[in-house]
Amino acid sequence: MKGPSTELIHAGEIDRNAAVPLTTPIYETTTFVFDNAAEVVAYNEGRSSKYLYSRYTNPTVVSVEQKLAAIDHAEAALTFSSGMGATATILMAHVKAGDEVICGAAIYGGTLHLLQDLLANFGVTPRFISLDEMANLERVFSDRTKLVWFESPINPTLRCIDIRRVAQACRARGVLSVIDNTFASSMNQQPLAMGIDLAMQSATKYLNGHSDVTGGMVAGPKALVAPIEKARRLLGTVMDPHPAYALGRGLQTMPLRVERHNANAMAVAKFLEGDRRVSQVYYPGLASHPDHEIAKRQMLGFGGMVCFDLDGRYDRAERVYNALQIVKRATSLGGIESLVSLPVITSQWGHTDEQLKAAGVTKGMLRLSVGLEDVADLIADLDQALGTEN
């Protein structure tokens, strides 16, 4: 007779082959069982499809990674504990001391600080360049340039960078090109098909789409993804199976969600553009956007992000921000709920007037992440909030 501890640990651990689930279950296990030593050796030698340890790979996580590779038409994809986990792991895998990383100046703050405050300590030189310089990379490259990191559309003005041009310039110099494709998402933009080497996203945003998972991903050719996977094992920036399950579930409705985000954002942008109280609207789908032509060439849809300006006046922006009722005041983007932020107190917090000017950001700007609510209600909410100004 076995003792109660042995029974409770081992009894009832059923034959999994008898229960075949329709959906991929959450493999809530840190480690996997082998039948004998030969199986472990086969695993070590890459001759086995078995799993060893969840920091390396886990079936729930792999299932999501295969979905992500499929939508980016990539040979391979990896997930991470966050978008920043993805960024840090990609950079640690592909750059070393002495290398220069060229980065669009209009970049997510976390990426900027990772390069400027952390990777610089490891001998990596970040070089932040303007949109104009980004369009003429050939003039910017140095002998030490290893990698170009950029976003398009950028935050919060949704200015777009010609992705094919960046890809061509990098290929010609043997420089690695990496895009943070978070704002567009895989549904609206396919950077790998345009020649970019690696496409990264914060899965926290449109990929999961429900504001309840923090995650990151990268997709690309196996030869470039393999070193990132190796680095992920060492850095431990792996995604846990539980959020991976939620992400996989979110992904299943992504095409439908993004279609609605795009349609709602276009309707909101048109409403704002037609309203005299609004001095400027930034949406890549509007003919008035400075990069509308680039966006048309490289985007499949124009996305769910809209930015608008109220004469550069913070007092006006603050009043409208505070008055919104359906649209929630919260950072982040890409979820089903519409969110609003004021760039000067979030992404551009602490910037000097000169820095704001360089980023094309004014104190009167509001950024919307347009959600999946009924668009008439969103427009009515914006209308009443704009009306509270008088």
Residues with a catalytic annotation lie at 55, 108, 180, 205
End-to-end CA distance of the chain: 82
Binding segment (CB under 6 A) for ligand PLP, from list 19-27, 77-85, 98-106, 358-366: 77-85
Supply φ then ψ for residue 367, to 5 degrees: -110, 130
Nearer to ligand PLP, 107 or 385 (CB): 107
Q: Report residue 244 as tokens.
A: 């991976």
CB atoms within 10 A of CB 216: 27
Binding flag, residue 317, ligand PLP (CB under 6 A): no
Q: Which is nearer to ligand PLP, 168 or 332 (CB)?
A: 332
In whole angstroms, what is the distance from residue 186 CA to residue 122 CA? Answer: 32
Residue 84 lies near ligand PLP (rule: CB under 6 A):
yes
Q: Based on CB atoms, which residue is closest to ligand PLP, 50 or 242?
A: 242
Binding region for ligand PLP (CB under 6 A) out of 114-122, 175-183, 256-264, 363-371? 175-183
Candidate list 216, 241, 243, 364; residue touching ligand PLP; CB under 6 A: 216
Among 25, 110, 290, 312, binds ligand PLP (CB under 6 A): 110
Asked if 182 is part of the footprint of ligand PLP (rule: CB under 6 A), the reply reads: yes
Residue type, 141: F
Question: Buried (b) or exposed (e) across 318-339, using 16+ Cβ within 10 A?
Answer: bbbbebbebbeeeeebbbeebb
Phi, psi of 101, rounded to the nearest 5 degrees: -110, 120
Tell me the closest approach of the beta carbon of residue 212 to ligand PLP, in angstroms.
Answer: 12
**95 within 8 A of 178, measured Cβ to Cβ:** no
Determine, following the binding rule CB under 6 A, whether residue 126 of this chain makes contact with ligand PLP. Answer: no
CA 371 to chain centre: 17
Using the minimum distance from each CB to ligand PLP, give the nearer residue, 178 or 268. 178
Please identify, among the stretches 19-27, 81-89, 217-225, 267-275, the one whose residues bind ligand PLP according to the rule CB under 6 A.
81-89
Q: Is 276 buried (19+), middle (13-18) or exposed (0-12) by CB count in 10 A?
A: exposed
Which of residues 201 and 385 has its CB atom nearest to ligand PLP in the complex?
201
Of residues 349 through 378, those in contact with ligand PLP by CB under 6 A are none
Among 54, 89, 202, 208, binds ligand PLP (CB under 6 A): 202
Q: In the complex with ligand PLP, which residue's Cβ is closer, 332 or 384?
A: 332
Q: Is 151 in the site for ligand PLP (CB under 6 A)?
A: yes
Q: Put residue 107 in one of left, alpha, beta given phi > 0 → left and psi -120 to 50 → alpha.
A: beta
Both tokens assigned to 370: 């347009």
Q: How far is the CB of 48 from ligand PLP (least distance, A)?
A: 33
Helix (H, G, I), strand (E, B) or coil at 201: strand
Kindly state whether residue 206 participates in binding ligand PLP, applying the rule CB under 6 A: no
**Helix, strand, coil % in the chain, rounded to nearest 5:** 45, 15, 40
**Alpha carbon distance 104, 361 (integer Å):** 15
The C-alpha atoms of residue 244 and residue 207 are separated, in whole angstroms, by 11
Residue of 58, 188, 214, 338 interacting with ligand PLP (CB under 6 A): 214
Q: Count residues near ligand PLP (CB under 6 A).
A: 14
- 3-class DSSP assignment, residue 22: coil
Which range of residues in 78-86, 127-135, 186-194, 239-247 is near ligand PLP by CB under 6 A? 78-86
* Footprint of ligand PLP (CB under 6 A): 82-84, 108, 110, 151, 180, 182-183, 202, 204, 214, 216, 332
